[in-house]
Structure 1
Amino acid sequence: MILSPFEWMIAKRYLLPGRGEAFIALVAGISVGVVMLSVAMLVVVMSVMNGFRAELLDKIVGLNGHAIVQAYGGRLQNWEQVLEEVRDTPGVVDASPLIEQPLLTTFNGRVEAILVRGNTDEDLAALGEKVVLGDMKALVPDSGNVAIGSRLAQNIGARVGDTITIINPQGRSSPFGTVPRQIGYQVAAIFEIGVYDYDKAFVVMPMQDAQTLLLTGDAIGMIEVKVEDPDEVGEILAPVQEKVAGRAVVADWKTINATLFEALQVERVAMFFALSFMVVVAAFNILSSLVMLVRAKTRDIAIMRTMGATRRSLLKIFVTTGFTVGAIGTVAGLILGFIVLAFRQQIVRGIEIVTGQNLWDPSIRFLSTLPSRTDPVEVAGIVALALVLSFLATLYPAMKAASTDPVQVLRYE
């Protein structure tokens, strides 16, 4: 919609009401503010929800892969053949054997439930990026060294160099019953994944040591699989499921964490739907300010009509005026939203200091920090929603102004 110099001059004049039109200016300013806040809240909330899902998926997949081939009974015999079949499957990037078993650990009288993980040397080396204290290179077979999560270290009070005791209920038989195996391991490293449930439970050791602790011989518990496209993991591993039928089951990240990710998706859609109503409210504010402006400028409109202004020109003037208010609010909202996202962690800490409440408890939120990941497509959708509703809000007042009859207005002038 191209405006002539005359139309643009009048539109600019109406965007900046005069002294006697302070109330109209106030309503227009409120409209800009509501559009700004609604767009900013949508950008912030959707970015945080996307960041939460992406960060959680990255951390879970980084530790567990996109899927696991888990043996019935927890022990996969002749796993080398299955491992080769998995690696030869089209779409599979990597696969590695894994042992995982819930046990107990004790240190200085404190007892915690743990998940013992036996990893290959390659997986242990990859975990080295998450180490905060110690060195993963000390985890070699038969060394008696392990790495533990940072939250577990805090809970039991263990530090690098301390010896923790791992208790395996499956022990040796005696005249008095089964005696649990209690083996001491030295803490060689402390790591932090960033997911609370992992950091408070995982004890990582070489696979050979895990086999010795769990008395599994050469068997493993599962095979960890990574694929090219996580969203197509089910289709990629369908041939593997057929080959291992009766011996093992294939579970992907969608199945393992179905409840969590479905809840996130439902909350994401619900939040977008609820916050979109703020944009609707902003559009009604634009409509009301334009209606007031048209009523205040009825005499001016009639004079412009008598001077040759067409209905189309008046329509374009008032649509431009209202749409500009929405556009200014949208741009300001984007700027505000990105500023909030940039300083989100400081804002959370500031609110915690002021209120004295812990707003981001890792034991509830799973992650240690507030994540964010902005989707350009979603931002474009938010901008389009705000601009379209702003445009629609201008149509009724603009058509009302364009239909003004100058004869009726100026009859008694």
Structure 2
Amino acid sequence: MIKLPYELLLGLRYTRAKRRNGFISFISLSSMIGIALGVTALITVLSIMNGFQEELRDRILGMTAHMTINERNDQLEDWQSLYNQLINQPHIEGAAPNIMEQGMLTIGNKVKGVAIRGVLPEFEGQVADIGNQMLFGSLNDLTPKKYKIILGSELAVSLGVTLGDKVTLIAPQGSVSPVGIVPRIKRFTVSGIFEAGMHEYDSGLAIIHIEDAKKVFKYGDSVGALQLKIDDLFKVGEVKNQLGQVVDKVLYMRDWRQQHSNFFKAIEMEKRMMFIVLTLIIMVAAFNIVSTMVMVVTDKQSDIAVLRTIGATPMSIQMVFIIQGLVIGTLGVILGLIGGLSLALNIDVIVPFIEQLLGFKFFPPDVYYISAVPSKLVWSDVWYIAGLSFVLTLLATLYPARKASKVNPAEALRYE
């Protein structure tokens, strides 16, 4: 039979409620529930924010590539040879040329500033998911010299156009005429409408064939850049170094982190702020443990004095009360982990149930483009939260335990 240390046995015994210290036990219970709620909230909120971050990142990268390569003048000559050189490199899944320019679309008295993307339909599917975002028409409808255009859904609504309508593209690259420099103007036929679920693209992006873009924006035989898709989007730094050793000329490379750095930094900052705010819940519960343990030490002074007189050391007395506090904190952390994991892993079932119960949607799809609350459980977050909660609980027990170890047996037993 295993003989447990008496410090552990006493610490466990003191956590059980008795009639004469029921109030202390109630405070212990409230501290345990506070820690559990804090851990549950932290795990759930961080999982939801991780889910939103991944959802938004997927939507952004569904419409653009992981990496863009061009030359000094923001153009790229002889992209075919560079394509053949890079397509078989490790981690590169696809590549496609494109042209990105600014322009204005007009129809009647309606004018809209837009980003114009010239693409090669047979290559674009290697780096972007535009084909699967089409509401009407197809990316393959874009053919050279036919001057067809694909619009985002919100852009089409704001211009009041549909399939087959004519829109006028005004390019800032001007042509010289007897009256001066005038903008280049070309009429396009709307051949498709896409919806990416991102306001930036749906309201401000138009897609045309890359050959038509070359003529309108005066690119000659060049393209704007070569876009790359990586098998692991978090390896872009490694791929940059790898391509720098393979390519024999100076190229400028930008990855998705640089192109959307402010957006993802804002999300990461918000995630950190939420972590700090919700950690305060756990800290409040930990301070409750301090008050609980101080009252326990006061209530158990005679017991402490008896233990000291029969040979218990101050360190043993400290361990008794540290164990008592850790039991409260550990049970709270375990309950919080169970609650947090249950919510994070079943948020797709719980939220619809609450929406049906209350009769409204938290995220209307026509406003947020997201019909369900996304959740992604990151186990490193879980272990970090559990470890932080345990450390806060341990720190909360140190002062009361030290106070217990300094109880004077003669003073404590004087009136017993």
Q: Give the secondary-structure state (helix, strand or coil) at the position aligned to 2:150.
A: strand
Q: Which residue of 2 aligns with 1:244?
A: 250
Deviations 1:65-117 (A, max 9, x none): 22211344444332222333343555544322112222222356432222222
Asked if 2 retains the 8 angstrom alpha-carbon contact of 1:97 and 1:222, the reply is yes
From 195, 208, 213, the counterpart of 2:211: 208
Asked if 1 retains the 8 angstrom alpha-carbon contact of 2:318 and 2:402, the reply is yes
Q: Confirm whether residue 392 of structure 1 aligns to residue 395 of structure 2.
A: yes
Letter of the 1:236 partner, please give it: Q
In 2, the alpha carbon distance for the partners of 1:68 and 1:83 equals 12
Q: Which residue of 1 aligns with 2:238?
A: 232
Letter of the 1:186 partner, please give it: V
Q: Which residue of 2 aligns with 1:163?
A: 165
Give ranges in structure 1 of 5+ residues lacking alignment.
none
Distance 1:21 1:117, change over 3 A: same
Moved more, 97-106 or 170-179: 170-179
Distance 1:349 1:86, change over 3 A: farther
Q: Which residue of 2 aligns with 1:373?
A: 376
Q: Confirm whether residue 68 of structure 1 aligns to residue 72 of structure 2.
A: no
Identity of aligned residues (%): 30
In 1, the alpha carbon distance for the partners of 2:56 and 2:201 equals 12
Give the structure-1-normalised TM-score: 0.79
Asked if 2 retains the 8 angstrom alpha-carbon contact of 1:12 and 1:321, the reply is yes
- Give 1:366 deviation, angstroms: 11
In 2, the alpha carbon distance for the partners of 1:155 and 1:339 equals 43
Q: Confirm whether residue 87 of structure 1 aligns to residue 90 of structure 2.
A: no
In 2, the alpha carbon distance for the partners of 1:234 and 1:129 equals 27
Letter of the 1:230 partner, please give it: V
Deviations 1:322-344 (A, max 9, x none): 11221222233334444554548
From 286, 292, 297, the counterpart of 1:283: 286
Asked if 1 retains the 8 angstrom alpha-carbon contact of 2:8 and 2:320, the reply is yes
Q: Which residue of 2 aligns with 1:38?
A: 38
Q: Map of 1:52-67 to 2, 5 A cutoff?
A: 52-67=52-67
Q: Give the secondary-structure state (helix, strand or coil) at the position aligned to 2:95.
A: strand
Q: Give the secondary-structure state (helix, strand or coil) at the position aligned to 1:243.
A: coil
Asked if 1 retains the 8 angstrom alpha-carbon contact of 2:12 and 2:323, the reply is no
Deviations 1:266-304 (A, max 9, x none): 554455455545433332221221111121222344456
Q: Give the secondary-structure state (helix, strand or coil) at the position aligned to 2:377.
A: coil
Give the structure-2-normalised TM-score: 0.78
Q: Give the secondary-structure state (helix, strand or coil) at the position aligned to 1:17.
A: coil
Letter of the 2:165 partner, please give it: T
Letter of the 2:154 partner, please give it: R
In 2, the alpha carbon distance for the partners of 1:330 and 1:324 equals 10
Q: Map of 1:10-409 to 2, 5 A cutoff?
A: 10-87=10-87, 91-107=91-107, 109-120=109-120, 121-124=122-125, 127=129, 130-131=132-133, 133-136=135-138, 138-142=140-144, 145-159=148-162, 161-169=163-171, 170=173, 178=182, 180-192=184-196, 194-227=197-230, 228=232, 229-239=235-245, 243-244=249-250, 249-269=252-272, 271-273=274-276, 275-303=278-306, 314-338=317-341, 341=344, 342-343=346-347, 371-409=374-412
Asked if 1 retains the 8 angstrom alpha-carbon contact of 2:130 and 2:194, the reply is no
Q: Which residue of 2 aligns with 1:410?
A: 413
In 2, the alpha carbon distance for the partners of 1:42 and 1:231 equals 31
In 1, the alpha carbon distance for the partners of 2:349 and 2:326 equals 34
